[in-house]
Amino acid sequence: MSSNVILEVPHLLAAARQATGLTRLDGPDLMEPLERLTRALNTEANLTAAGRQMWAERLHGILVTRLRACDWFERHPEILEEQLPPPVVILGLGRTGTTLLQRLLAADERFYAAAWWECRFPVPAPDDIQGE
C-alpha cells in the first residue's frame, strides 16, 4: 500500500468532481471544516499507509455524495418542500437496549427506519432512477 495518498482538499475535490462529472457544491461552509480535517489527518493523526488510504476513500465518498446531493436538489427543488413528521431519536449508552428499542420501533408501521444503504447512499446514482 502506498503512502503517497494525497489528503489535500484541492486533490480530493478534483477526484470527486472527475468521478461524478459534477462541479457545483452548495456552499463555502464545507471548505473550512474539510481543510481543518485534512490538516489534522496530515499533521496530527500519524496515519499508516492503510489509514491514509481509508481516509482518502472515505472523504472521496462523502464529497461524491455531496456533489450528487447538490445536483439532485437543483434538479428537484420540490424535495425541499416536503413535510416530514418529527423524528424519533434514540440515545443511550452501549448495552442498554437502544438497538432493541430501535428495532421494536422499526417494526411499527407508523415509523420509518432507514436501511443502512439509504443512510450510506442518500442520493440516487444516475443509473438508479428510470427516466432521469
How does pLDDT run across 81-118, given as a tens digit for each residue?
A: 999 999 999 999 999 999 999 999 999 999 999 999 89
Whether residue 3 lies inside any domain: the answer is no
Tell me the residue range of the domain where 115 lies: 9-120
HSE toward the beta carbon, residue 120, CA cutoff 13 A: 4
Q: Report the pLDDT averaged over residues 6-22.
A: 97
Whether residue 1 lies inside any domain: the answer is no
How many domains does the chain contain in total?
A: 1
Whether residue 125 lies inside any domain: the answer is no
Residue 94, pLDDT score: 94
Whether residue 28 lies inside any domain: the answer is yes
pTM score, whole prediction? 0.84
φ/ψ of residue 41, rounded to 5: -65, -35
Whether residue 129 lies inside any domain: the answer is no
Whether residue 127 lies inside any domain: the answer is no
